[in-house]
Amino acid sequence: MVAAGQILDPRLEFVGHFGCQDEGRKDHRFAQVIGRLGIGVGEDGPTHQPIEQLAGLRAIPNLAVFRPCDANETREAWKAALLRTDGPSAFAFTRQGCPTRDRTTHASADGVHQGGYVLADCDGTPDVLLIASGSEVHLCLAAQATLKDEGIAARVVSMPCCELFDAQDAAYRASVLPPGVRARVTVEAGSTLGWSRYAGLAGVSVGLDRFGESAPGGQVMKALGFTPEAVAAAAKQSLGR
Protein backbone atom coordinates (compact mmCIF):
# COMPACT_ATOMS: atom_id res chain seq x y z
CA MET A 1 0.00 0.00 0.00
CA VAL A 2 0.96 3.69 -0.20
CA ALA A 3 0.46 5.82 2.89
CA ALA A 4 1.62 9.28 3.86
CA GLY A 5 2.05 10.29 7.47
CA GLN A 6 3.41 12.83 9.87
CA ILE A 7 4.31 12.68 13.56
CA LEU A 8 3.91 16.11 15.13
CA ASP A 9 4.90 14.89 18.59
CA PRO A 10 4.73 11.46 20.31
CA ARG A 11 1.01 11.98 20.97
CA LEU A 12 -0.01 13.20 17.52
CA GLU A 13 0.48 10.86 14.61
CA PHE A 14 -1.37 11.27 11.30
CA VAL A 15 -1.57 8.70 8.50
CA GLY A 16 -3.50 9.01 5.24
CA HIS A 17 -4.29 6.36 2.64
CA PHE A 18 -7.00 5.00 0.35
CA GLY A 19 -9.86 3.07 1.92
CA CYS A 20 -9.52 0.10 -0.43
CA GLN A 21 -6.15 -0.75 1.16
CA ASP A 22 -6.44 -2.63 4.41
CA GLU A 23 -2.98 -2.48 5.94
CA GLY A 24 -3.16 1.09 7.18
CA ARG A 25 -5.51 0.33 10.04
CA LYS A 26 -3.18 -2.09 11.79
CA ASP A 27 -1.01 0.42 13.64
CA HIS A 28 -1.85 4.02 14.31
CA ARG A 29 -1.71 5.87 17.59
CA PHE A 30 -3.81 8.89 16.87
CA ALA A 31 -5.45 9.74 13.56
CA GLN A 32 -5.89 7.85 10.34
CA VAL A 33 -7.38 9.69 7.36
CA ILE A 34 -8.98 7.46 4.76
CA GLY A 35 -9.99 8.72 1.33
CA ARG A 36 -11.87 7.12 -1.56
CA LEU A 37 -14.00 5.16 0.87
CA GLY A 38 -17.18 4.03 -0.87
CA ILE A 39 -18.85 3.04 -4.10
CA GLY A 40 -18.78 6.64 -5.34
CA VAL A 41 -15.22 6.00 -6.56
CA GLY A 42 -16.99 4.74 -9.67
CA GLU A 43 -14.81 3.84 -12.63
CA ASP A 44 -12.10 2.30 -10.43
CA GLY A 45 -14.48 -0.64 -10.09
CA PRO A 46 -15.49 -3.03 -7.32
CA THR A 47 -11.91 -3.65 -6.15
CA HIS A 48 -11.68 0.03 -5.20
CA GLN A 49 -15.15 0.25 -3.66
CA PRO A 50 -14.49 -0.97 -0.11
CA ILE A 51 -17.98 -1.68 1.18
CA GLU A 52 -16.59 -3.70 4.11
CA GLN A 53 -14.00 -1.31 5.51
CA LEU A 54 -16.21 0.87 7.69
CA ALA A 55 -17.65 -2.18 9.45
CA GLY A 56 -14.12 -3.51 9.92
CA LEU A 57 -12.86 -0.25 11.37
CA ARG A 58 -15.80 -0.04 13.76
CA ALA A 59 -14.97 -3.50 15.02
CA ILE A 60 -11.57 -2.33 16.36
CA PRO A 61 -11.69 -1.78 20.14
CA ASN A 62 -11.21 1.83 21.33
CA LEU A 63 -11.13 3.23 17.77
CA ALA A 64 -13.54 6.10 17.05
CA VAL A 65 -14.54 6.17 13.38
CA PHE A 66 -15.72 9.55 12.07
CA ARG A 67 -17.60 9.85 8.77
CA PRO A 68 -18.64 13.52 8.57
CA CYS A 69 -21.29 14.79 6.14
CA ASP A 70 -19.83 18.23 5.43
CA ALA A 71 -17.08 20.70 6.28
CA ASN A 72 -18.79 21.73 9.53
CA GLU A 73 -18.87 18.16 10.81
CA THR A 74 -15.29 17.61 9.67
CA ARG A 75 -14.13 20.55 11.76
CA GLU A 76 -15.93 19.28 14.85
CA ALA A 77 -14.72 15.72 14.26
CA TRP A 78 -11.10 16.92 14.35
CA LYS A 79 -11.84 18.72 17.61
CA ALA A 80 -13.48 15.63 19.09
CA ALA A 81 -10.50 13.48 18.09
CA LEU A 82 -8.04 15.90 19.68
CA LEU A 83 -10.04 15.78 22.92
CA ARG A 84 -10.06 11.98 23.07
CA THR A 85 -7.75 10.44 25.66
CA ASP A 86 -8.91 6.82 25.51
CA GLY A 87 -8.01 5.78 21.98
CA PRO A 88 -7.17 6.74 18.38
CA SER A 89 -9.51 8.01 15.69
CA ALA A 90 -10.10 7.32 12.00
CA PHE A 91 -11.65 9.74 9.51
CA ALA A 92 -13.44 8.33 6.48
CA PHE A 93 -14.10 10.75 3.64
CA THR A 94 -15.96 10.37 0.37
CA ARG A 95 -14.43 11.15 -2.98
CA GLN A 96 -17.47 12.98 -4.33
CA GLY A 97 -18.19 16.55 -3.35
CA CYS A 98 -20.67 17.22 -0.55
CA PRO A 99 -22.47 20.51 0.08
CA THR A 100 -21.75 22.41 3.27
CA ARG A 101 -25.06 22.73 5.10
CA ASP A 102 -26.31 26.07 6.37
CA ARG A 103 -26.24 25.71 10.14
CA THR A 104 -28.69 28.57 10.58
CA THR A 105 -31.38 26.30 9.13
CA HIS A 106 -29.93 23.00 10.35
CA ALA A 107 -28.67 22.04 13.81
CA SER A 108 -25.19 23.01 14.95
CA ALA A 109 -22.39 20.61 14.06
CA ASP A 110 -21.47 20.59 17.76
CA GLY A 111 -23.60 17.45 17.90
CA VAL A 112 -20.65 15.58 16.40
CA HIS A 113 -19.18 15.47 19.91
CA GLN A 114 -22.08 13.22 20.93
CA GLY A 115 -21.53 11.01 17.90
CA GLY A 116 -25.05 11.44 16.53
CA TYR A 117 -27.59 14.25 16.67
CA VAL A 118 -30.82 15.56 15.16
CA LEU A 119 -29.72 17.48 12.09
CA ALA A 120 -33.16 18.36 10.70
CA ASP A 121 -36.34 17.79 12.67
CA CYS A 122 -40.01 17.83 11.78
CA ASP A 123 -43.00 19.44 13.50
CA GLY A 124 -44.22 17.29 16.36
CA THR A 125 -43.47 13.61 16.80
CA PRO A 126 -41.77 12.08 13.75
CA ASP A 127 -43.43 9.27 11.85
CA VAL A 128 -40.05 7.93 10.73
CA LEU A 129 -36.37 8.44 11.52
CA LEU A 130 -33.81 8.76 8.72
CA ILE A 131 -30.34 7.94 10.07
CA ALA A 132 -27.17 8.26 8.01
CA SER A 133 -23.48 9.08 7.98
CA GLY A 134 -21.31 10.96 5.53
CA SER A 135 -22.55 11.80 2.05
CA GLU A 136 -25.73 9.78 2.53
CA VAL A 137 -26.99 12.38 5.05
CA HIS A 138 -27.76 14.60 2.07
CA LEU A 139 -29.91 11.87 0.53
CA CYS A 140 -31.91 11.77 3.77
CA LEU A 141 -32.42 15.53 3.76
CA ALA A 142 -33.79 15.36 0.22
CA ALA A 143 -35.98 12.37 1.14
CA GLN A 144 -37.29 14.29 4.16
CA ALA A 145 -38.63 17.01 1.86
CA THR A 146 -40.26 14.44 -0.41
CA LEU A 147 -41.92 12.68 2.52
CA LYS A 148 -43.18 15.99 3.92
CA ASP A 149 -44.98 16.66 0.65
CA GLU A 150 -46.70 13.30 1.11
CA GLY A 151 -47.78 14.08 4.66
CA ILE A 152 -45.08 11.98 6.37
CA ALA A 153 -43.07 13.63 9.13
CA ALA A 154 -39.41 12.55 9.07
CA ARG A 155 -36.52 13.37 11.38
CA VAL A 156 -33.01 13.33 9.91
CA VAL A 157 -30.29 12.11 12.25
CA SER A 158 -26.64 12.52 11.32
CA MET A 159 -24.52 9.73 12.81
CA PRO A 160 -20.87 10.67 12.11
CA CYS A 161 -19.44 8.52 14.92
CA CYS A 162 -21.29 5.47 16.21
CA GLU A 163 -18.76 4.89 18.98
CA LEU A 164 -19.32 8.31 20.55
CA PHE A 165 -23.09 8.02 20.20
CA ASP A 166 -23.16 4.60 21.85
CA ALA A 167 -21.15 6.05 24.76
CA GLN A 168 -23.83 8.67 25.53
CA ASP A 169 -26.31 8.09 28.34
CA ALA A 170 -29.67 6.46 27.64
CA ALA A 171 -31.57 9.73 27.98
CA TYR A 172 -29.57 11.45 25.25
CA ARG A 173 -29.77 8.48 22.89
CA ALA A 174 -33.54 8.31 23.41
CA SER A 175 -33.87 12.03 22.70
CA VAL A 176 -32.25 11.49 19.30
CA LEU A 177 -33.78 8.09 18.50
CA PRO A 178 -37.10 7.94 20.40
CA PRO A 179 -37.87 4.29 21.27
CA GLY A 180 -41.53 4.89 20.42
CA VAL A 181 -40.71 5.66 16.79
CA ARG A 182 -40.21 2.21 15.31
CA ALA A 183 -40.24 3.21 11.65
CA ARG A 184 -36.60 3.89 10.81
CA VAL A 185 -34.24 3.92 7.84
CA THR A 186 -30.45 3.75 8.10
CA VAL A 187 -28.43 4.79 5.06
CA GLU A 188 -24.74 4.20 4.39
CA ALA A 189 -23.01 3.35 1.11
CA GLY A 190 -21.38 0.25 2.53
CA SER A 191 -22.12 -2.90 4.48
CA THR A 192 -25.29 -2.81 6.58
CA LEU A 193 -23.47 -4.73 9.33
CA GLY A 194 -23.94 -2.95 12.65
CA TRP A 195 -26.76 -0.64 11.60
CA SER A 196 -29.50 -2.94 12.88
CA ARG A 197 -28.98 -1.62 16.42
CA TYR A 198 -30.34 1.72 15.20
CA ALA A 199 -32.85 0.45 12.66
CA GLY A 200 -34.58 -1.94 15.06
CA LEU A 201 -36.93 -4.73 14.09
CA ALA A 202 -39.27 -2.54 12.04
CA GLY A 203 -36.53 -0.55 10.34
CA VAL A 204 -34.96 -0.79 6.90
CA SER A 205 -31.20 -0.56 6.26
CA VAL A 206 -30.24 0.95 2.92
CA GLY A 207 -26.71 -0.25 2.26
CA LEU A 208 -24.67 -2.60 0.14
CA ASP A 209 -23.80 -6.16 1.14
CA ARG A 210 -22.17 -7.01 -2.19
CA PHE A 211 -19.36 -5.49 -4.21
CA GLY A 212 -20.08 -2.50 -6.43
CA GLU A 213 -20.00 -1.77 -10.16
CA SER A 214 -17.66 -0.09 -12.61
CA ALA A 215 -19.24 3.12 -13.91
CA PRO A 216 -19.18 6.84 -13.13
CA GLY A 217 -19.81 7.38 -9.44
CA GLY A 218 -23.22 9.00 -9.84
CA GLN A 219 -24.44 6.17 -12.03
CA VAL A 220 -23.19 3.56 -9.57
CA MET A 221 -24.97 5.26 -6.65
CA LYS A 222 -28.23 5.41 -8.58
CA ALA A 223 -27.99 1.85 -9.88
CA LEU A 224 -27.38 0.51 -6.37
CA GLY A 225 -30.26 2.38 -4.79
CA PHE A 226 -28.60 5.37 -3.15
CA THR A 227 -31.05 8.09 -4.14
CA PRO A 228 -33.52 10.30 -2.26
CA GLU A 229 -36.34 8.38 -3.94
CA ALA A 230 -35.02 5.06 -2.66
CA VAL A 231 -34.67 6.44 0.87
CA ALA A 232 -38.23 7.78 0.77
CA ALA A 233 -39.48 4.41 -0.48
CA ALA A 234 -37.65 2.64 2.35
CA ALA A 235 -39.29 5.01 4.85
CA LYS A 236 -42.73 4.11 3.53
CA GLN A 237 -41.81 0.44 3.62
CA SER A 238 -40.85 0.76 7.29
CA LEU A 239 -44.16 2.50 7.93
CA GLY A 240 -46.00 -0.32 6.18
CA ARG A 241 -47.33 1.93 3.42
Q: What does the pLDDT look like over 18-64, one tens digit per residue? A: 444 444 444 445 566 765 556 766 566 666 667 888 899 999 999 99
Instruction: Express each pLDDT in 66-94 by its tens digit.
Output: 999 999 999 999 999 999 988 889 998 88
User: pLDDT per residue over 186-217, tens digit each?
Assistant: 999 989 999 999 999 999 999 999 887 777 77
Give the other-Cβ count within 10 Å of 193's Cβ. Answer: 16
Q: Who wins on pLDDT, 226 or 38? A: 226
Rounded to 5, what percent of the chain is helix, strand, coil? Answer: 35, 20, 45
Alpha-carbon gap, residue 75 to 192, rounded angstroms: 26
CA distances from 20 to 24, 37, 171, 183, 188 (A): 10, 7, 37, 33, 16
**172-185 pLDDT tens trace:** 999 999 999 999 99
Could you tell me the domains of the chain?
4-239 (3.40.50.920)
